[in-house]
Amino acid sequence: MAGVVLLRRRADRRLVEPGPNSTYNRLSIPVGKLSSEKEFMKLSNRRQKTLDLRLGLAMACLLAIGSPAFAQTAPSQPTTGPGGSQYTHATVTTNGPYWANNQTTQNQFEYFIYEPGSPTPAQAPVILFLHGYSAFTPQSYLYWIDHMVLKGYTVVWVQYQASALTAPSKYLPNARAAWSDALNRLQNFWWENHVKPQMSTNGQMETLIVGHSVGAFTGAGLAATISGTPTVPVPFGLVLIEPGSKGLVPAQDYSKIYAGTPMVMVIGDQDTVVCDTTASRIWNVSSQIPSSLKNLLWIQSDTHGTPQQLGNHFFPGTSGFDDTAAVDDRDYNITWKLSVAMADCVFGNTTNDPNACSIALGAGNPLQTTMGNWSDNTPVKPLVYYTNPSGLPPIQGCN
């Protein structure tokens, strides 16, 4: 490398050091007195080559700036708020696997329990997390689960599918069996030292249902069939991210969801897997829930920088499967923010953010819809609030 530097210095010196009786142009080439037309042409060619070289270098720099290495970057995780990095707990305790009624050879009844630690609370509200189709392990959503736990909530992840061959008609009863078993374990298996479910002032177990894809569809079905067997508590709220069933999972009568159940539903503008048909059906049939407790949010894809913030079907997963990133701004400001904000709102927890209800059920206010800024301070396209699905833009690739 020393030889290279030396050569560059010599080249620079040759171009800029003046000689006797010489004048200099902007390209630092001596022109002086020209003895002949031949000498003039020779120096003109030198000038042109130097100009071409510098223009080439300038173009290379411009191309480099436009390359991914110089592209704008997405917002980092905010510090505060329900999607932020300030946590009330420092560790997550993982317990399981367990199986409903000890059916250890039947993985459709398998579940894990994630509990907050450091410090370990005596009790905490419990969130049921329902995964998307064939996401057979918690690892597909582990960062999202951990985020909710570190914010102070116990999370129960249930499998409900033993394999892709599990009959769709069994998803709901399988999820119900595992959910009921998990709550019983948390409440009564004192020798296992679990964080007990928090009870409301009227003695009701404080629970919330969060789901993605067919898990969101199953969660809505579970809320509509509370009186089924085994019984499960009425959820304090529903967070339904891109619900869908592809017409394979039996629908329920969503008009039977308790009318006081807050619901936030999210649809992606590039979700060509489930589109918006199922979400629209759940929304329209659950008309008993007042508009003040129902929020429908639309994701606008943004390709201003990297990773691209796409409203596709797989962004809620935190493994990076079929997406532009494993964890990014869409997690912080959509799934993580809305799930924790809803929990904070319905359970009266002001620790994470005193404006939790304005975020979960904000009807389009900036606290709810903001997605932060790209590294050049350009706002990421915000979420858009709709009063009902009839106003949604069409999803290209969906009928």
Backbone angle region of 326, left / alpha / beta, with phi > 0 → left and psi within -120 to 50 → alpha: alpha
Q: Is residue 86 part of a domain?
A: no
CATH code for the domain in which residue 382 is found? 3.40.50.1820
> For residue 4, what pLDDT band results from cuts at 50, 70 and 90?
very low
Q: Is residue 384 part of a domain?
A: yes
Q: Average of pLDDT values for 281-307? A: 98
Which two tokens mark 365?
A: 């206010």
Residue 229: per-residue pLDDT: 86
* Beta-sheet pairing, 110-117 with 91-99: antiparallel
Q: Is residue 76 part of a domain?
A: no
* Domain encompassing residue 240: 91-391
Q: Is residue 294 part of a domain?
A: yes
Residue 108: per-residue pLDDT: 95
Q: Is residue 336 part of a domain?
A: yes
What's the DSSP call for residue 344? H
Q: Is residue 83 part of a domain?
A: no
Q: Average of pLDDT values for 105-111? A: 95
**What value does the mean pLDDT of the chain take?**
87
Which two tokens mark 194?
A: 């679990």
> For residue 265, what pLDDT band results from cuts at 50, 70 and 90?
very high
Do 15 and 128 lie in one domain? The reply is no
Above 60 in pLDDT, residue 146?
yes
Do 125 and 266 lie in one domain? The reply is yes
Do 63 and 127 lie in one domain? The reply is no
With CA atoms as reference, report the closest residue to 193 among 87, 100, 121. 121
Residue 54: per-residue pLDDT: 57
Total structural domains in the chain?
Answer: 2
Which two tokens mark 17?
A: 């050091």
Check residues 180 and 5 and name the one with the higher pLDDT: 180
Q: Average of pLDDT values for 302-326? A: 96
CA distance 106 to 161: 9
Residue 48: per-residue pLDDT: 56
Residue 53: per-residue pLDDT: 52
Do 226 and 314 lie in one domain? The reply is yes
Do 136 and 39 lie in one domain? The reply is no
pLDDT tens figures, 161-217: 999 999 999 999 999 999 999 999 999 999 999 999 999 999 999 999 999 999 999
Task: Determine which helix (DSSP H) or strand (DSSP E) holds 277, and give its type and residue range.
Answer: helix 277-285
Which range is least confidently modeled, 9-18, 77-86, 280-289, 322-331?
Answer: 9-18
Residue 63: per-residue pLDDT: 47
pLDDT tens figures, 13-50: 333 333 444 333 333 334 444 444 455 455 455 555 55
Which range is least confidently modeled, 183-187, 226-230, 294-298, 358-362?
Answer: 226-230
| Count of other CB atoms within 10 angstroms of residue 283 | 24
Do 254 and 331 lie in one domain? The reply is yes
Q: Is residue 337 part of a domain?
A: yes
Task: Determine which helix (DSSP H) or strand (DSSP E) holds 217, and give its type and residue range.
Answer: helix 214-224
Above 70 in pLDDT, residue 285?
yes
Which two tokens mark 196?
A: 């007990």
CA distance 132 to 317: 9
> For residue 56, what pLDDT band results from cuts at 50, 70 and 90?
low
Which range is least confidently modeled, 9-18, 31-40, 301-310, 350-359?
Answer: 9-18
DSSP strand E in the chain: where? Answer: 91-99, 110-117, 123-124, 126-130, 154-158, 196-197, 207-212, 238-241, 263-268, 294-299, 384-386
Domain end residue (candidates: 40, 70, 100): 70
> For residue 354, what pLDDT band results from cuts at 50, 70 and 90?
very high
Q: Is residue 398 part of a domain?
A: no
CA distance 235 to 74: 34
Residue 55: per-residue pLDDT: 54
Percent of the chain with pLDDT over 90: 79
CA distance 264 to 23: 75
Helix 214-224 vs helix 171-188: crossing angle, to nearest 10: 70
Do 33 and 142 lie in one domain? The reply is no
Above 70 in pLDDT, residue 75?
yes
Amino acid identity, position 179: W
Burial environment of residue 342 by CB neighbours within 10 A (0 to 12, 13 to 18, 19 or more): buried
Do 202 and 109 lie in one domain? The reply is yes
Do 159 and 195 lie in one domain? The reply is yes
Do 51 and 98 lie in one domain? The reply is no
Residues 6+ apart with CB under 8 A from 181: 98, 99, 100, 101, 109, 111
Query: Dihedral (C-alpha) 304, 306, 307, 313: value to the nearest 10 degrees?
Result: 20
Residue 219: per-residue pLDDT: 98
Q: In a 3-state reduction of DSSP, which class is residue 199?
A: strand
Percent of the chain with pLDDT over 70: 82
Residue 14: per-residue pLDDT: 33
Do 29 and 96 lie in one domain? The reply is no
Backbone angles phi, psi at 131, to 5 degrees: -80, 170
Domain end residue (candidates: 15, 40, 70): 70
> For residue 399, what pLDDT band results from cuts at 50, 70 and 90?
confident
Do 122 and 243 lie in one domain? The reply is yes
Q: Average of pLDDT values for 211-230? A: 95
